[in-house]
Each structure stands twice: as structure tokens, then as C-alpha cells.
Amino acid sequence: MYELPFRQIHLDFHTSEQIPDVGSEFSAEAFAAALHQAHVESINIFAKCHHGMSYYPSKVGPMHPSLKFDLLGEMIEALHKRQIKCPVYMSVVWDEYAASTHPEWLQLDSSGKVVGREPYSSGGAGEERWRYLCLNTGYMDYLSAQVQEILDGYDADGLWFDIVMYSEDGCSCGNCIRSMTAKGLDPTNRTDRQTHAYQVMRGAMARLHKQVKDCKPDALVFFNCRQTIDADPERSFRRELPYVTHIEIESLPSGQWGYNHFPLFVRYNQIFGKEIVGMNGKFHKSWGDFGGYKNKAALEFECFNMLASGAKVCVGDQLHPRGKLDPASYALIGEVFAQIEKKEPWCRQARPVAQIGVMAVNDGGYGRACRPAVDTLEAAMQMLLEDRQQFQIIDSEEDLSRFDLIVFPDKVRFDAEMERKVRDYLRQGGRCLLSGESGLRADADAFAIDLGVKYGGDSEYTTTYLRISDAVRHGLLAADYAMYERGKRIEAAEAQVLARVVHPYFERAWNHFMSHQQAAPDRESGEAAIVRKGNVIYFSHPIFRAYKKHGSLIYKRLVSACIDLLLEGGKIVQSPNLPSTARVTVFDQPGERRRVVHVLHYPIERRADIDIIEDVIPLYDVRLKVRCAAPPKRVYLAPERREIAFRCQDGFAEFTVPEVKGHQMIALEQ
């Protein structure tokens, strides 16, 4: 398998059989030339779409009725002449033709209803667009036969399988009911149906992966829609790594994903050691948004943020039915890809520098495609991102000793294995920050590790107040700060108290209330809000969820101050004048003997129903301190190679970046 290229396109082509002129304006030479001119190195091209139409002369499924030639074959030949790689796309669970001709292949929910688009729905906004097929039926053989046609007939650089997912309700078709019963699972139990769905999907992935590799050992294989962060080891994405040659993160911020999705998932996927591709879209909104163009500043940020996260870049597009690439799209993409090409030497084979591990946690319940909710984890990610901490999202199987500090956000209860791992980690000098329920035993309301406190259950008040000690004040005013989320009652026995709880006069109710919100602070309660014992700090409130929900800067400042207390040498990157809207990441390139710092500043605003990036607001004279294992010999701006003055003190290189205009890389060479 070759090293993944940095500049990629994912080309959708979901074209109804009612479209009368498919491919009528296609020119293989013009198609490949337009991509070459836009600095594209690889493109995912289509063999079969969601409509179930094939774009080559298939003997298994229907070729699109208005297509008059082998579109797939001509694309591959022209692209390879330009040295452009072209993995081939296959739609899996969505295939409207198969759904219509073989209703026995459809997924059914527990009420017997077909999963997905309803019979007379057009699949408009807020509705399901497609019907879901079950991979535990004859459809799997049909799909496998289509894959074999591609492997036998075309020089594909890989297979890109899309929509590998089941309903959160699992499947209750006849085949699945019989299969669950044979395996000792209870078809009436939702959890068992979900477990079975995972087994079916992973069986399908194993079969298709083997099929591809048996024919083309060097081919890429990827299954989309599998991105999930699940604290249950049996449902972990780790279990699916053997079936993929690399990792891709589909994340269109202006679609359903938002700007917090990619940074969360890329920091989780970094721990697996596989090459990563980030995928956004050129659309103003989401897939299939013909005539909608992403603002250039937004496309820059999304692509450069992938580079700054150790990922390659893939921009999603959708080809017009007549087969001609949209010139405006590739003018936009080409401008950004030209910049990426210049930045690549400082991103190639770079390894993320992570000081903090954030333990994965789910919020309960499973949503679309059996994916667990990760709101609490996202809250922790957002806070640390804004505080310029260098961190990764980890799971219970990760080696904790790789990190100086482990954060357990709000809801991480400890089973026996986690208790053992954390105790070992602390004995080796590790540090932990816990909040809310974190650290409590999975099967009892008692702490699994010694925090030096007496535990008293939930607070009787929804809203209390924090009275902060000098140790974590860090410029905050002496005041009683509102904590809007209910916490736990703890009393310090053998722990240092960093903040105390002040109770309100009373809990607001119909028969006793004051003013417009919670009652005013009354007096110290004797309860602790933040305690420290040795290398462990505990917040009695769900501080991360509270920050995400209420946005109080005080919460972020407190967490930052506590991290500073635990990380005695300080965080890896420090700056007195970078705004919280800036993003900073650090990577090492061992082969080049250099550390590379990425600074991005593209302010995100909610101006409509989606987040918007429109303006590039430069930053000037940015002062940075970067921890280095050894003093660098030179510091310069990349890719400009402009030298900047620096000094080394106490294990840090200190320097000033004259200007950050969107994205700036700084190289520190040993």
C-alpha cells in the first residue's frame, strides 16, 4: 500500500435513473486535466451509487439506463495517465434499486417497519432519504458479486465502501431474528439487537476486506460511517481496525457534523497509529448542495486544520449528472490545494505531541447508526482546545503511561480494571483530574481511589456557588461564582481544598423563590467544590458539561489552573496574547529532527442555522513558548523559511511570530 496523498477529492454521483443524459458532456481528458490543474493527487470515483445504479457495464446490477459508455473505465484510464490515484466507491446499505426489487433484503425495526425513507417521502429536510438494506440477507452476495466485477475488470487503487451502518434499533428482519436466536441473543432486547447488528457489520467488513486483499494485496480498503467513540470495549472502533488500511473522518462542519466533530474524532483516531484522512466538502451546506459553495476562508480552515491535526485532506464534491466538473468548485479547491502542496514537507510523517489523555465517556443511549452520544466528551475537548492544551482522546485499552495527565470528564465511573490501571498509573507518578461522577465505582456510590474526602451523594441544590482559593484564582476576582449544574456533596478529610461550596438561601420552588433566577448566595456550606490529594484533583461538579452548556469563562479558567498545578513543568505551548479563538497544535517530525507548531485563527460565528467562517482576521506579534527536549538550532516560519529570533530558557524556546494570517507553521529544528 502506498503512502496516502495529501490532496484528495471524494466525488459523489448519486444520480436517479430518471435523469435522461448521464455522462453526455463527459470528456475523460478534460476531467483528468481539471483535477491535475487543481493539484489533486487522488480521487474517489464511483462504481455504484445510493440509487443502486452502476456506472460501468455491470452484469450483476443495473447500469444507469441513460449512460451510453463505461464511465468508470474511462475515468480510471485518464486519471492513471495523469498519475492520479482513484479508489472506487461502492454504496453498501443504501441501494434503492435493490430495496425496490428485493424487499426481503430490507432492514426492519422492532415494530416491523422498514428502516429509512417512508414509501411516499421524497427524503426532504429532516427526513430519511434512503431505505436501509440488511447485510444478513442475500444482498450481501449481490454486493460481493459487484465488488468482484470491479476487482476483475478495473485497475482500481482501492475500494471505498460507504454507508456501513444499521439503525439504532438493530434489525428485526426474519434472517436477523433467526440468527439472534441461534446465537443466544434475545431479539426482543434492544441491546441484543444492537450487538447483533455490530456482529453482522463486522462480518461483512471482514468478508469484503478479504475479498479485496485476496485479489489486490496493495489496494486500499475503507468502510465509511464507522466513526464512533464508544466506551464499551466490544463496540470500540478498535475492533474494526483490522478491516481498514487507513482511517477517514467524514466531517462536513456545515452539514450535520459541526466544527467540534473533526477535532474530537481526529484526537481519538490519532492513538491508533494508522494514516488519517479528514473529509469535508466544498458545499455551503452538505452533500448534493448543487450551486452552494463554501467560503474560501472556511475551506482553508477546514483543510489546514486537517494538516494541523496530522491528517491528509479530502474535499467532497458531487459531479453534475452530465459528467462535467464544475469549474468554480475546482478554482476554489485548486487555490487551497496549491497552498497545501507548499505546506506538505512540514506535515509528512508527523507525530502528534500529546501531554494529556482524555478518557472516552458516553452519555447513555445510542443515536443514528448505533452511535453513542458523546456530548460530555465533546465539552472536555472544546475546553482543552480553547485552552491550547495538547491532548488526545483515549479509551480504556490505551496505555496511560504515555501521558503526563489523564482527564476523566464528568461521567467516567471505574470498573475493577480501570481502578487497577489508574492505581498503577498514579503509583508511577501519573496525574489525574476528575469531575462529577468520575472516579466513583461502577457498581457503588463510593470512590474507587483515595481522594481524601467523604462522599455524600448528590447536592440538594441545582445551583450553588464556588468560593475559590488563592491557589487556583489565577487573576479571577474574589467572588462567589455561580455553578449552574448540580454537583456531588463531598467533605474534605485529608485533602487540600481549592474551592468551597456556598449554598443559596434555598432551592427555587413554587413556594419559595427570589428574583428572576436562583436564590442569592447565603453562606459557606462546609462542602468542598475542588479538592487535591497528591497527584489527583477532583471537581465535585460536572465542570465540563457545565462549560459546554453555560459557557462561563470561570469554569475554563479553573480547569486550566488545576491542570497547571498538576503539570508542574507547565503545558507544552504557552502564550500570553493568543485569543481563545486561535487553535494551536504541536507535531514532531523525527526524520527531519524538528518540532512543528501550527497556529490557526479563523473565527467561527453562528450567523444562520449553520456555523460560518467568512473572514481571515490576522494576528500580530504572537508570543509563544514551546517546550523542547533540547534547544533548537534554528526557528523559522514555514513554508516561507523565514528565520525568527528565539531564546531558550527552562526547557522552552521563546519567540515572537510576526503575523498569523489564517494558518502559520513554525519549525523548531534540532
Given a contact cutoff of 8 angstroms between Cβ atoms, the answer to whether 152 and 116 are in contact is: no
Closest alpha carbon to 611 in 318, 282, 257:
257
Given a contact cutoff of 8 angstroms between Cβ atoms, the answer to whether 11 and 56 are in contact is: no
Please state, in angstroms and rounded to a whole number, the distance separating the CA atoms of residues 341 and 339: 5
Closest alpha carbon to 383 in 560, 231, 221, 213:
560
Please state, in angstroms and rounded to a whole number, the distance separating the CA atoms of residues 16 and 28: 22
Closest alpha carbon to 309 in 356, 259, 361, 265:
265
Structural domains of the chain, with CATH: 7-351 (3.20.20.80), 356-566 (3.40.50.880), 573-669 (2.60.40.1180)
Which residues of the chain fall short of a pLDDT of 70? 1, 125-126, 368-370
The DSSP 8-state label assigned to residue 373 in this structure reads P
Question: pLDDT value at position 609?
Answer: 87
Please state, in angstroms and rounded to a whole number, the distance separating the CA atoms of residues 385 and 379: 10
Helix axes 71-81, 28-37, angle to 10 degrees: 40
CA 532 to chain centroid: 32
Q: 42-51 burial by CB neighbour count: b if 16+ within 10 A, else e? A: bbbbbbbbbb
Contacts of 86 (CB under 8 A, 6+ apart): 42, 43, 44, 45, 75, 76, 79, 80, 156, 157
DSSP 54-73: BSS--SSSPBPTT--S-HHH
Question: pLDDT value at position 1?
Answer: 57
Helix axes 553-566, 375-386, angle to 10 degrees: 70
The DSSP 8-state label assigned to residue 610 in this structure reads S
φ, ψ at 645 (rounded to 5°): -70, 150
Cell numbers representing residue 654 in the block? 521563546
Cell numbers representing residue 292 in the block? 452552494
Q: Which ranges constitute the DSSP H helices of 461-552?
A: 543-550
Given a contact cutoff of 8 angstroms between Cβ atoms, the answer to whether 368 and 93 are in contact is: no
Edge-to-edge strands, sheet with 464-468:
391-394, 356-359, 405-408, 431-435, 536-539, 521-533, 496-504, 464-468, 480-483
> What is residue 327's three-state secondary structure?
helix
Closest alpha carbon to 380 in 494, 278, 260:
260
Given a contact cutoff of 8 angstroms between Cβ atoms, the answer to whether 641 and 322 are in contact is: no
Question: pLDDT value at position 372?
Answer: 82
Q: Are strands 42-48 and 7-12 parallel, antiparallel or unpaired?
A: parallel
Please state, in angstroms and rounded to a whole number, the distance separating the CA atoms of residues 285 and 288: 9
Given a contact cutoff of 8 angstroms between Cβ atoms, the answer to whether 201 and 139 are in contact is: no
Question: pLDDT value at position 467?
Answer: 96
Bond preceding residue 639 cis, omega within 30 of 0: yes
Given a contact cutoff of 8 angstroms between Cβ atoms, the answer to whether 300 and 253 are in contact is: no
Please state, in angstroms and rounded to a whole number, the distance separating the CA atoms of residues 518 and 505: 9
